[in-house]
């Protein structure tokens, strides 16, 4: 009787031990789907409080028998609990406006550089020299000066004076030798005009990639007088040569290159429209009655409109030599 009882006790113990070991082994496998499904009350009583807070992750086991989620929760719990609320408060709060320092001023802000040269309210004295470019029979060299006053930086009025020196070209001799004819020519003596001008273009360029050169282009127009003198076809008739005082409008274009605050280099091309009178014909089928004086020659002269196109080069001196900006930077 004792022997069957002992055997039954041993058998029950073995079965109980095996059942307990199978339950522990199966419980670890059943915990895997707990990440997708909430744990029931029975499983909750068997699991610890940390397992309820964060589901287990078999792929990343943590040291000490805890999973990675549990370790992460513990690391968050050890931090300051007020810090997340402070971060949310800082992100949601409006940013304070930047305060300007007391040393900042408009004079310290340079947006566009000032113009290199100011002409408004200044005088320009411009001596120049040049020559005629559109007459193949006679060439005139000119020496003169401009006196301009700038009403604004782009608008001016001025006076111009000229003195001419004539030179007969080789073409004038060829005409006489080849065609056996003496050309009808006049020479310019003096000239003067009242002009006004406007500056439509202003710019700068790099000179030899080292210096910045400022320049401007201008257009001008005016009216004045030109004194001319007849060149007799026959040098023996020099007593019949007469002078003309012609009302002369003019137009021109040019440019200035600024060197210093008081000095410029100027180039210009100006066309003078001269309604001139020339020596009358003294012989041939179209000859006029006998002319014995210069007044009679002038009374019988024929007129024509002549374009006297001149090229100038000169330098401009500005007074006062210094200028002052009247507008802020």
**Nearest CA to 43 among 58, 31, 26?**
31
Q: Is 115 helix (H, G, I), strand (E, B) or coil?
A: coil
- For residue 161, what is the enclosing H or E element? strand 155-168
φ and ψ of 122, to 5 deg:
-120, 155
CA–CA distance, 245 with 275 (Å, rounded to integer)? 9
The pLDDT tens digits of the residues spanning 157-216 come to: 999 999 999 999 988 888 878 888 888 999 999 999 999 999 999 998 888 888 888 999
CA–CA distance, 77 with 50 (Å, rounded to integer)? 12
CA dihedral 39, 45, 49, 53 (to 10 degrees): 10
Confidence at residue 267, expressed as pLDDT on a 0 to 100 scale: 97
The pLDDT tens digits of the residues spanning 227-236 come to: 999 999 888 8
**pLDDT by 10-residue block (mean), the chain, 329 residues:** 65 67 49 46 43 45 44 45 50 57 66 79 97 94 98 96 95 83 92 97 87 93 97 87 96 96 96 94 60 87 93 97 76
CA–CA distance, 148 with 194 (Å, rounded to integer)? 10
Confidence at residue 19, expressed as pLDDT on a 0 to 100 scale: 59
Confidence at residue 116, expressed as pLDDT on a 0 to 100 scale: 81
The C-alpha R_g of the chain, in whole angstroms, comes to 53
CA–CA distance, 14 with 23 (Å, rounded to integer)? 14
Percentage of the chain modeled with pLDDT above 70: 65
Confidence at residue 286, expressed as pLDDT on a 0 to 100 scale: 52
- The pTM (predicted TM-score) of the whole model is 0.63
Confidence at residue 43, expressed as pLDDT on a 0 to 100 scale: 40
CA–CA distance, 21 with 235 (Å, rounded to integer)? 147
DSSP per residue over 43-57, as a string?
HHHHS-HHHHHS---
Confidence at residue 98, expressed as pLDDT on a 0 to 100 scale: 57
CA–CA distance, 262 with 264 (Å, rounded to integer)? 7
Confidence at residue 172, expressed as pLDDT on a 0 to 100 scale: 86
Confidence at residue 7, expressed as pLDDT on a 0 to 100 scale: 65
Q: Are strands 302-319 and 155-168 parallel, antiparallel or unpaired?
A: unpaired
Question: In the numeric block, which tokens belong to residue 122?
Answer: 């200044």
DSSP per residue over 69-82, as a string?
HHHHHHHHHHS-TH
Handedness of CA 83, 84, 87, 93 (dihedral sign): negative
Contact 265, 259 (CB under 8 A): yes
Confidence at residue 52, expressed as pLDDT on a 0 to 100 scale: 44
φ and ψ of 235, to 5 deg:
-55, -20
DSSP code of residue 2? H
**Cβ contacts of residue 245 below 8 Å, gap of 6+?**
225, 226, 227
**Nearest CA to 271 among 132, 125, 126?**
132
All domains of the chain in start order, with CATH? 123-319 (2.40.160.20)
Contact 211, 259 (CB under 8 A): no
Contact 234, 182 (CB under 8 A): yes
């Amino acid at each position: 009787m004792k022997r069957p009882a002992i055997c039954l006790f041993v058998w029950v113990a073995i079965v109980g031990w095996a059942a307990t070991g199978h339950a522990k082994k199966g419980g670890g496998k059943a915990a895997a789907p707990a990440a997708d499904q909430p744990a029931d009350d029975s499983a909750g009583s068997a699991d610890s409080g940390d397992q309820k807070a964060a589901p287990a992750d078999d792929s990343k086991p943590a040291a000490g028998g805890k999973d990675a989620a549990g370790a992460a929760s513990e690391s968050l719990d050890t931090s300051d609990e007020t810090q997340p609320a402070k971060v949310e408060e800082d992100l949601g709060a409006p940013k304070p406006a930047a305060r300007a320092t007391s040393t900042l001023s408009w004079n310290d802000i340079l947006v566009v550089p000032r113009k290199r040269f100011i002409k408004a309210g200044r005088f320009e004295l411009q001596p120049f020299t040049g020559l005629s470019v559109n007459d193949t029979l006679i060439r005139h060299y000119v020496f003169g000066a401009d006196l301009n006053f700038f009403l604004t930086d782009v608008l001016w009025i001025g006076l111009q004076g000229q003195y001419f020196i004539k030179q007969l070209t080789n073409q004038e001799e060829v005409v006489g030798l080849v065609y056996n004819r003496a050309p009808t020519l006049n020479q310019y003596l003096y000239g003067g005009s009242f002009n006004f001008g406007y500056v439509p273009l202003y710019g700068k360029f790099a000179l030899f990639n080292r210096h910045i050169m400022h320049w401007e282009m201008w257009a001008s127009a005016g009216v004045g007088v030109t004194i001319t003198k007849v060149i007799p076809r026959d040098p023996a008739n020099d007593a019949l040569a007469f002078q003309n005082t012609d009302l002369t409008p003019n137009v021109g274009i040019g440019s200035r290159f600024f060197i210093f605050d008081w000095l410029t280099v100027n180039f210009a091309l100006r066309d003078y429209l001269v309604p001139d009178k020339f020596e009358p014909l003294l012989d041939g089928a179209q000859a006029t009655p006998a002319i014995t004086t210069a007044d009679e020659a002038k009374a019988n002269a024929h007129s024509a409109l002549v374009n006297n196109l001149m090229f100038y080069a000169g330098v401009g001196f500005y007074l006062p030599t210094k200028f002052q900006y009247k507008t802020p930077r």
